[in-house]
Structure 1
Amino acid sequence: MTQQPFSRPGAIDLSALKRTAAPPPSAAPGGGGGGAAAPGGSAYSLPVDEQGFQSVLEASMTAPVVLVFHSPSRSPESSQLAQDVSTVAEEYDGRFLAATVDIDANPQIAAAMQIPQVPLMLVLLDGRPVTQPIPGAPPIEDIRALFNQLAQQLTAQGITTRHQPRGPVPTLGAEGEEPEVDPRYAAAQDALGEGDIDKAVAEYQKLVDTNPADAEAVAGLAMAKVLQRTQGVDLNAARQAAADNPDDVDAQTLVADLDLLGGHVEDAFGRLIRLVARTSDDDRAKARDHLLGLFAAVGNDDPRVLAGRRDLASALF
């Protein structure tokens, strides 16, 4: 989860689903055949059947879709995961759409997606998987942390589109309307969307210089700098250089950047914390400062950052 937060390895092969009959004209876009145990649909989540799966792929052309594969009969905790992901998706007002698949009721989807086990999460964007499959059923707070990281990565890449509600939007009061994208970040996000990372860094830097307390600008700047540092980098060569030179700060920090962009946040933090522990003077300061930049990119409220700060303090003292 190529050298950016989301990879695009290829489109999903839907040939296994083409034998299914077309849905009747009155069918809802997401389908409703997920089985009685599947979480019900709401504004930004829906159960998916074989007939509605194509529309889910099409929805991922607008904004990310988080697919959750579950089996009420074989893994009750997997259905709890589906419900938790649906709950968290609602909190992001369209940044994500949660699509839950009961593989007992829809075995052809599991076959087409080559699902090895449940529970399993997968993020789709542009009709393709953009993360490695995420197994297991983490607690809801860890799911929120994952969504927070993905949202920050999307913002850093200039991806700000949202899904339209698929059902009733929860009542939030008179001021509960979905907020518009903050125009302050438009220039930086547009630059990222155009692939001009240097310009994005400059635009985010202006925002941070104007208001150092702007947490979103700080996170955007930190992530844009990660993208800037890893432009054109050969992943395999970078990893080999780091393996050959374990105390080379530049080699280790580059791989930490690549790990972060690949979604391996704890690996990135752990690499630099260990580097801090075994270096000294300028090398230690450089590794520490780089790690603090990665903390900012992920977000200071993220549980992994809080744990990383504790580990960094132990490595320093």
Structure 2
Amino acid sequence: MSSTPTPPAGIRGAIDLSALSASSRSAPEAASAAPASAAGAPDASGLPEGLLVEVTDATFSEVMNRTLQVPAVLVIWSSAHPQTVGLAERVAGIAAGLEGRVFVVSADVQTSPAILQAFQPVIVQAFGQLTVPVTFGLLQGQPVPLFPGLPPDEEIRAVLDQLVQAAVQNGITGRVDLGPAGAAGGSGQEDELPALPPLHQEAYDAIDRGDFDGAVAAYERALAADPKDHDAELGLAQVRLMQRTSDVDPQAVRAAAAAAPEDVDAQLAVADLDVLGGHVVDAFTRLIDTVKASEGVDRDRARTHLLELFNVVGNHDERVRKGRTALMNALF
């Protein structure tokens, strides 16, 4: 596993693509769905051709199939809101530095309303409300909530780095051929897919079935066999996050936390939702404030929960490093 959480079962099965079936396309629409040229000069945006793919309701399923081998970033925006228009190109500009390891998918809800409809349950579960623009990772056809709104470039870059790491850990190592205009190293050929350790594969299979208990057991056995198995440690933390958030009502949880700031359980629950939705700094800040405001058993629970969320994000992440420093200051 990696620092980008694998989509919980409640999210993984929430995308209804029946309205986006490729079989329902007209002939002109089907022709427009053909992938961009594998190599060539930059397009009109100045980006390498093939890096940024614009989709419609009719062509989206084909793009989802491409994510079986190459991870993608889906940017859902609205031409009715001018401030969102350039987000996909901005994300693609940052993705250009990743040497074809990820491509960007642009969906305008004004011309592709079914895409927004299909993702609506995921958006609400991850971010607490329906919001546009919103950005997802797509790994093997499964959505990974990344961020809502218009974050600064440095935050986008950090999230894309995490998405690529998650893809590699899941054996998704293909690349888009960006041609001579793209970053060096994009060969257009799929890298050989590494085999997962048996217990890791068992955990992934259990997650796909929605069997969180089975995934936890597999990761725990992996750690018992090798206490230095950091991927298993990350995976275990992420599965436990899935367990805690799979059946929650995000709006109810956030309302409870706002109404009772002293309720440690409510603050822990909102922190989980924030990490799941990509609001990592918000989650860390909330729990550090809870540590400061509580004492005794409650304080230790908040501290322990924060340490587990550090594991979910990954110790390599700069936000975790800063979070650990802030926690130390809060404790001492």
TM-score, structure 2 normalization: 0.67
Match of 2:92 in 1: 82
Query: What letter matches 2:314 in structure 1?
Result: G
Q: Within 5 Å, which residues of 2 pair with 1:117-266? A: 121-124=135-138, 131=145, 134-136=148-150, 138-139=152-153, 141-150=154-163, 160=170, 162=172, 164-167=174-177, 171=185, 177-184=191-198, 185-266=200-281
Secondary structure of 2:28's counterpart equals coil
Q: Tell me: CA distance 1:55–1:266, structure 2 relative to 1, closer, same or farther (3 Å).
A: same
- CA offsets 1:104-132 (integer angstroms, 9 cap, x no match): xxx95699869xxx997444578797647
> Contact 2:72 / 2:138 at 8 angstroms: preserved in 1?
yes
RMSD of aligned residue pairs (Cα, Å): 4.6
Q: Tell me: CA distance 1:172–1:23, structure 2 relative to 1, closer, same or farther (3 Å).
A: closer
The alpha carbon displacement at 1:191 in A equals: 1.2
1:66 and 2:79 are equivalent in the alignment: no
| Structure of greater relative contact order (alpha carbons < 8 Å, 6+ residues apart) | 2
The alpha carbon displacement at 1:316 in A equals: 1.6
Match of 1:41 in 2: 49
**Alpha-carbon distance between aligned partners in 1 of 2:174 and 2:242, rounded to the nearest angstrom:** 29
Q: Within 5 Å, which residues of 2 pair with 1:14-33? A: 21-22=28-29, 29-31=34-36
Q: Tell me: CA distance 1:132–1:289, structure 2 relative to 1, closer, same or farther (3 Å).
A: closer
Match of 1:56 in 2: 63
The alpha carbon displacement at 1:21 in A equals: 2.7
The 10-residue stretch of structure 1 (226-235 or 295-304) with the greater mean CA deviation from structure 2: 226-235
Structure 1 segments unaligned to the other structure (5+ residues): none
**Bigger proportion of residues as helix:** 2
> Contact 2:315 / 2:321 at 8 angstroms: preserved in 1?
yes
> Contact 2:271 / 2:284 at 8 angstroms: preserved in 1?
yes
**Alpha-carbon distance between aligned partners in 1 of 2:95 and 2:305, rounded to the nearest angstrom:** 32
> Contact 1:78 / 1:137 at 8 angstroms: preserved in 2?
no
Q: Tell me: CA distance 1:67–1:12, structure 2 relative to 1, closer, same or farther (3 Å).
A: farther
Q: Percent identity?
A: 35
Secondary structure of 1:99's counterpart equals strand
The alpha carbon displacement at 1:190 in A equals: 1.3
**Alpha-carbon distance between aligned partners in 2 of 1:34 and 1:55, rounded to the nearest angstrom:** 23
The alpha carbon displacement at 1:137 in A equals: 5.9
**Alpha-carbon distance between aligned partners in 1 of 2:115 and 2:42, rounded to the nearest angstrom:** 16
TM-score, structure 1 normalization: 0.70
Q: Tell me: CA distance 1:5–1:86, structure 2 relative to 1, closer, same or farther (3 Å).
A: farther
The 10-residue stretch of structure 1 (294-303 or 56-65) with the greater mean CA deviation from structure 2: 56-65
> Contact 2:67 / 2:138 at 8 angstroms: preserved in 1?
yes
Q: Number of matched residues?
A: 295
- CA offsets 1:120-154 (integer angstroms, 9 cap, x no match): 74445787976476443633x53343135546777
